[in-house]
Structure 1
Amino acid sequence: MLRSTTITCAIALFGTLFAAHAAAQVDGTLVRHKGVTVDAGDLNEELGLLEQEKRQRIISEANELQSTVTGLYFRKRMSQLAESQGLLADAEVQAALRQAREATLAKLMTDRYLEDIDYPSFEEEARRYYEEHLSEFTPPERIRAAHIFLQAPKTEDKKRRRGEAEKILKRLRKGKSFSELAKKHSEDSTRHTGGDLGFFTRERMAPEFNEVAFSMKEKGAVSDVVETRFGLHIVKLLDRDLGEPKAFEAVSEQIKERLKAEYRRENFSAWLKQEVPPEVVRLPDARLQALQDALAERYAVRIPEAEASADAESTQVQSTEAAKP
């Protein structure tokens, strides 16, 4: 954490010291100081390695561009100082440089492979996927309903107010306006809209409410009194939206991108198994255990006993299985 903070402060300091030298040129020298030069070629090389979005941000914002030039000078100057102090001869530095080189080349190689994959058009595959997975492109069923709601969260409340709800229901059966009775009797905010709950899916309401509301078939139908944990409801079905599937044309590109991603994963996985065969790089359990023990001793790492016992037991079981005729 301290090293990261120190580097950040150092870069900020260099930005102040050398801002005057980093003239906004597209060619030639940008900064020259203490035998270190940053030129337009260095900047172009740096920008060329970035994703387009980040590159665009740096170029379009002067502070970001200046920070990039400052960072280039910082890296070059620190590298110069490190070499002058003989750090390149240090074994740990050599190991770190080798690891960085291998990691960079590994990433570039995998990126290059993925970029060079030749994809089919997926036209027929997309159509077939659409037809076989139509439910994925069909919005869930929705209904529009209204209710008259009497608050009764406790069992005794429900018993006490049941008769009140039944009287309202009788008036509805005799032709009284649902909307007017909801405005008069309902005990939630929907009373202002005649009990109208709008359109909703099954996930939105209480299970007992959904069971009744979604089972109603005819618009205008009114339910019996329904009990939920909130209280007592009388439900009226106002409308139903069965959820029509989206047209293939509206989702074809989405499907193709999904198929392309799957094709890429399968292609890359097959290539990776060929270049890095699991059976080749996997060490035998006994060899892995011996290596683990040796490294733990060398680096003073304590292996938890439970984990060590489990590993030992696994190795013993596998050895026993292997010894069977």
Structure 2
Amino acid sequence: MLRYNRIAAAVIVAGLGLHLPAFAAEDAVVAKVGDLEIRQSELELAMNSLDSQLAQLPDEQKKVAALSSAIEVKLLVKQATAEGLDKTDDFKKRMAFLSDRELHGAYFRKHVADSITDAEVKARYDKEVAALPKEEEVKAAHILVATEEEAKDVIKQLDAGKDFAALAKEKSTDSNKDDGGDLGWFGKGRMVPEFEEAAFKLEKGAYTKEPVKSEFGFHVIKVEDKRVTPPPAFEQVEPQVRQLVMRDKYFALIKKEKAEQKVEISDETLRKEYDEASKKQDEQLQQ
């Protein structure tokens, strides 16, 4: 498969607000709480802020949950303002943090997420595919019987010209007997060792001349075809590859800004751990 362990590193984009709504040109008022208005834009923001369980609801139920949440906020805003809670140092610090995070997200969307082209994603896919190890697969069928004598009799009939699929339907005890013993395509590590070793030694079109014993019984194996394992289709992994491109663009952007802006960490232990994390991030970019 296509380096899913690397693609998984793209989770750094989580929480950056990549799916903010496109607000309507006319930001209609959908509800009022006293003299405070709740507009469509705020409702859509509330919908995108629902916790994971509520976010799974059908759209109409999700909209009601978001509206309920927005109303609850407005119900307490006037009292909170009257008590001067918006003037406290703690509130101001929180607002500054949220403002910084939103600016970070806006810059990320403009210069990373929204800047990715389809050509970049396809080029990264081609690069990953080219780096994949070339692994062999075989397309095989088998006839499974209980005893070595039965297996030898099957081989004797094959040597005499009997059709493999017809013999599988007649003799095999496996559940795929009606399909002529067809096992489809498989690579190494998918079958029990004895079966795998025998199958991968066979040439295309050949069958085992001696019974192959495994924990399931005695097999007569035929290899129908061989090939190099094909990569996953671009359409199948495009979202993961796009996130990989996004991750690398983000890391590159951060690396550039670190080179231009001085970062100082007063706590020595924390600084060392941060430097180590930054080093690993740089290593990921080079892979």
Q: TM-score range by the shorter chain?
A: 0.5 to 0.7
Q: CA deviation at 1:129?
A: 7.1
CA contact (8 A) 1:137 1:245 kept: no
TM-superposed CA distance for 1:249, in Å, is 11
With over 3 angstroms needed to count, the CA separation of the structure-2 counterparts of 1:164 and 1:109, relative to structure 1, is same
1:259 deviates by 3.2
Say whether the 8 Å CA contact 2:137–2:229 is kept in structure 1: yes
| 93-102 vs 228-237, which moves further | 93-102
Match of residue 81 from structure 1: 79
- Residues 43-89 of structure 1 show CA distances to partners (whole Å, capped at 9, x for unaligned) of 145146468898xx9xx9555545544433432331323444x4639
**Given residue 78 of structure 2, which amino acid in structure 1 is its aligned partner?**
Q
Match of 2:42 among 43, 46, 59: 46
Given the alignment of the two structures, is residue 97 of structure 1 paired with residue 91 of structure 2, yes or no?
yes
Q: Which has the higher helix share?
A: 1
1:112 to 102, 106, 117: 106
The answer to whether the 8 Å contact 1:183/1:191 transfers is: yes
Shift of 1:250: 10
Q: What TM-score do you get using the length of structure 1 for normalisation?
A: 0.55
2:178 corresponds to which of 185, 192, 197: 192
Q: Is the Cα–Cα contact under 8 Å of residues 148 and 218 in structure 2 kept in the other structure? A: yes
CA deviation profile, 1:82-119 (whole Å, cap 9, x unmatched): 444x4639xxx935413421321121121122134275
Secondary structure class of the residue paired with 1:281: coil
**CA separation in 2, counterparts of 1:128 and 1:28?**
45
Q: 3-state SS of the aligned residue for 1:219?
A: coil
AA at the equivalent of 1:235 = I
Q: 2:215 aligns with which of 208, 229, 232?
A: 229
- CA deviation profile, 1:163-222 (whole Å, cap 9, x unmatched): 443333233323333334333332212332332223333343222212221222231444
Structure 1 unmatched ranges of 5 or more: 1-24, 152-160, 289-325
Aligned residues: percent identity? 23
- Matched-pair contact (CA < 8 Å) for 2:124–2:241: no
CA distance in 1, matches of 2:221, 2:106: 61
Residue 234 of structure 1 deviates from its aligned partner by: 1.0
TM-score computed with the length of structure 2 as normaliser: 0.61
Largest Rg, 1 or 2: 1
C-alpha distance in 1 between matches for 2:63 and 2:235: 43
Q: Secondary structure at the match of 1:189?
A: coil
Query: In 2, Cα distance between the equivalents of 1:215 and 1:70?
Result: 66
SS at structure 1 position matched to 2:201: coil
Find the counterpart in structure 1 of residue 247 from structure 2: 261
CA distance in 2, matches of 1:120, 1:224: 57
Determine the structure 2 residue equivalent to 1:292: none
- Output one character per residue of 1:94-148: Cα deviation in whole Å (capped at 9) or x when no partner: 354134213211211211221342758695896587367425498x643322212
| Alignment-derived partner of residue 206 in structure 1 | 192
Question: 2:268 aligns to what?
Answer: 284
C-alpha deviation, 1:252, in angstroms? 8.8
**Structure with the larger RCO, 1 or 2 (CA within 8 Å, 6+ apart):** 2
Q: Which runs of 5+ in 2 are unaligned?
A: 1-25, 272-287
| Number of the residue aligned with 1:37 | 35
**Residues 28 and 40, structure 2, Cα contact 8 Å, conserved in 1:** no
- Aligned partners of 2:140 and 2:222 also within 8 Å: yes
For 1:217-265, what per-residue CA distance to the aligned partner results, in whole angstroms no more than 9, with x for missing partners?
2314444211222221111122334445689999899766633431222
C-alpha deviation, 1:282, in angstroms: 4.0
